Chains A and B, each alone.
Chain A
Amino acid sequence: MTCEEFERVLPELEGGHSIEQEAHLKSCSACSDLVRDLNAISQQARHLQGSEEPSPWVWNSIEVSLRQEGLISQPQPERARTLAPLLGWKLRWMVPLAAAFLIVFGVLLHERGGVQRDLAKQTTPPAGVVTADLVTSQEDEQLLNTVAARTPSMRDAYEANLRSVNAYIRDAKQSADSNPNDEIAQQYLMNAYEQKAMVYEMALDRSLP
């Protein structure tokens, strides 16, 4: 058996060689080195399985979508009671703070897009006031246009994410408005804003050249 003949049948050899092939391997160092190298590559490749970790953004997006689609039910009362003592009065300040993050991203968008705005009109909301409306669909459209200008293939994915997270904010805001003293409702609203801030952050990071 020649080296060319051996290499021709090599793709079919998995798990064993014929007597003739074994004899060739024993007599030919080049082919035996080749087989050894290919086996080493295959064995080392197996260690790559499951070796990378996605960013937390991935689960956050999945959770948002699952809640919007009604696949995740509301948490149990015991969980709410466990959370309540940990939250305290600071939550009321964190809700407008999260909304302020969205304003900052909106400003960044305007700067990058070259759109002139009167930033003085954008004010930090008074404490305790829910401010979901400060970032409107106009800002979302601008974000999507920025993404589309730099990475067109990502526009649809971000549009879907914004739709989901806006619905999440609407629902959370409704709950917070109906229960202004409910700290859990405030926490959910803050989470919703954080989700949206995360979408903006990822979109702007990824759309950078």
Chain B
Amino acid sequence: MADAKKQPGDRLSEATLIERAKQGDAQAFEALYNLHKRRVYSLCLRMTANTAAAEDLTQEAFLQLFRKIGTFRGESAFSTWLHRMAVNVVLMQLRKKGLPVVPLEDTMESEEEAPKKEPGADDPRLAGSIDRLRLQQSIAALPPGYRMIFLLHDVEGYEHNEIAGMVGCSIGNSKSQLHKARMKLRELLKTSRAEKATKP
């Protein structure tokens, strides 16, 4: 997974913040939180589709990270460490609630969830007309298994081998579920666009 773009100066200041946080500096903790809060919270929000749950999970992810900050040696990027922790916190929460974390295998998929195949259908192009709000709404409407893989790969930038390790599925399953998620989103976005076009 590629880290967010950073300048050398930014890396140095984050390293300084980490060292100060290890010494118990409250401002350093807060600065580290402010640097990464949006990404962690956005991830939690999209995975849970619930503001309250996302805030609780964000809090839990940062607390777990800060409790272990004394052990951080800088072998990997701090943001990578934090992000993986956030994903693990979300996955644990979903498992506790009994929600599907491991994507459904192809044979177990329900007819409702499967994206409709339209070979040769004459649909207008979607490219160039996707707005952020409709995409967000469509992602929230995805089945949890599809949504998980889509968020981790297309939004957060994890590779399939990383996703497979995190959620406990095969790389092939991850690719398959990602494709189905994108197909389902295409269907949802076209439906949404058609509905919008028919409204007075």
Contact = CB atoms under 8 A, between A and B. Distances in A.
B120 A73 contact: no
A12 B175 CA distance: 7
B72 interface: no
Contact of B135 (A3, A41, A58, A154): A41
Interface in A120-162: 153-154, 157
A52 B38 contact: yes
Interface string A12-40: 10100000000000000010011011111
A114 interface: no
A49 B157 CA distance: 9
B183 A38 contact: yes
Given A48-B155, A58-B58, 14 more contacts: A36-B126, A37-B125, A40-B126, A40-B128, A41-B186, A42-B154, A48-B135, A50-B42, A51-B38, A54-B41, A54-B55, A58-B59, A59-B30, A70-B24
Given A11-B176, A36-B127, A49-B39, A41 B185 contact: yes
Contact of B63 (A49, A55, A62, A75): A62
Interface string B1-44: 00010000000000000000001111001100110011101100
Nearest to A51: B42
A29 to B, nearest CB: 9
Given A11-B179, A54-B41, A71-B67, A48 B132 contact: yes
A95 to B, nearest CB: 21
A44 B135 contact: yes
A25 to B, nearest CB: 14
A85 to B, nearest CB: 20
Contacts of B132: 44, 47-48, 51
B163 interface: no
Q: Most A CB atoms within 10 A — which of B25, B42, B54, B157?
A: B42
B23 to A, nearest CB: 7
Interface residues of B, number: 56
Contacts, number: 138
Of B46, B55, B156, B175, most A-chain CB atoms within 10 Å: B55
A57 interface: yes
Nearest to B125: A33
B165 interface: no
Nearest 3 Cβ contacts at the A-B interface = A73-B24, A11-B179, A40-B127
A46 interface: yes
A206 B121 CA distance: 46
A78 interface: no
Interface string B127-142: 1101010011001000
B73 interface: no
Contact of A75 (B26, B34, B55, B56): B26
A177 interface: no
A49 B154 CA distance: 9
Given A54-B58, A58-B55, A71 B66 contact: yes
A39 B127 contact: yes
Contacts of A3: 119-120
A84 interface: no
Given A3-B119, A41-B130, A45-B155, A61 B59 contact: yes
B194 to A, nearest CB: 14
Interface in A50-100: 50-55, 57-59, 61-63, 65-67, 69-73, 75
